[in-house]
Amino acid sequence: MKIAVCIKQVPGTSQVEIDPVTGVLKRDGVESKMNPYDLYALETALRFKQEYDAEITVITMGPPQAQAVIKEAFMMGVDHGFLLSDRRFGGADVLATSYTLAQGIRAAGEFDLIICGKQTTDGDTAQVGAELAEFLNIPHVTSVCKINGISDNKITMLLDMPLHQETAAVSFPCLITVEKGIFEPRLPSYKLKLATADKPITVLTLDQMPDTDPAHYGLNGSPTQVKRIFPPESTNTHEMWNGEADELSRRLFHYLEDNKYLQQLR
């Protein structure tokens, strides 16, 4: 059984500058970490490795420093790592990112199962998993909160839907996105850190992709164009009100009305 896990390096802080021209985050020189939701995807794959002797490959897209999250995955027990890195991939929206990952997965080999985290903490779209499956032309299931088992070349799962839980069985090859808490992610192993210190990471550029047309990648391949993006304003201004509940509720109502907040809610 071969499993691919999509992981991503995200900013480790909310204090990130934004490029005023392209509207994307300036990641250079910013403290980074592995996307927290991807840790649950990794742990799910590692459980399959223990139970079904699976072989795990992680794939990420980003600048050269994104190799750090692949090395972290090695320290958890992952077998292979691929980094999709090319300046022509820069500025990709969700669609172009999903297409690039799909091309990278095709270049990396054939997989029975692809696992993604629920979403990333920088984009928060929760769309890459489903779009990736569409580009790969394989079935997909999202919101997986429990793995029931694998048999007859299919995987059975419990899905955490908005109003209920649902059981689904999907044949391989397929893609799933897992919820936070499906398993408790393990910590990187110091022993594996030493053992995998020289483990190679395969770097793929646009020229190694099955589709080498630059019009399909990065800003060129992104139909979504950011009109305006800006960091949220923060302020420490505050005031304390004392009084009875009826008095305070009326005061709060008039404050919101005077400051146009109620019109925005309507």
Q: In this structure, what CATH number is given to the domain that contains residue 147?
A: 3.40.50.620
Q: Is residue 227 part of a domain?
A: no
In a domain, 149, yes or no: yes
pTM for this model (two decimals): 0.82
CB-based contact 111:57 (threshold 8 Å): yes
**Residue 219 CB burial class (10 angstroms; 0-12, 13-18, ≥19):** middle
In a domain, 254, yes or no: no
Domain assignment of residue 8, yes or no = yes
Q: Where in the sequence is the domain holding 198, given as residue range(s)? A: 2-221
Task: Annotate 29-57 with b (16+ C-beta within 10 A) or e (fewer).
Answer: eeebebbebbbbbbbbbbebbeeeebbbb
Residue 140 falls inside a structural domain = yes
Q: Are 38 and 117 in contact (CB under 8 A)?
A: yes
Looking at residue 225, its pLDDT comes to: 75
* Domain membership flag for residue 39: yes
pLDDT of residue 21: 62
Name residues whose C-beta falls within 8 Å of residue 142's C-beta, 6 or more positions apart in sequence. 118, 126, 129, 130, 159, 176, 177
Rounded Cα distance, 246 and 244, in Å: 6
Q: Which of 94, 116, 118 is closest to 105 using CA atoms?
A: 116
Relative orientation angle of helices 94-108 and 128-136, to the nearest 10 degrees: 50
How many structural domains comprise the chain? 1
- Residue 76 forms part of a structural domain: yes
d(CA 164, CA 172): 25
**pLDDT tens, N- to C-terminus, the chain (266 residues):** 999 999 999 987 655 566 666 556 655 656 789 999 999 999 999 999 999 999 999 999 999 999 999 999 999 999 999 999 999 999 899 999 999 999 999 999 999 999 999 999 887 788 999 999 999 999 999 999 999 999 889 999 999 988 899 999 999 999 999 999 899 999 999 999 999 999 999 999 999 999 999 999 999 999 987 777 666 677 788 888 899 999 999 988 888 888 766 665 55
Would you say residue 178 lies in a domain?
Answer: yes
Q: What is the pLDDT of residue 259?
A: 76
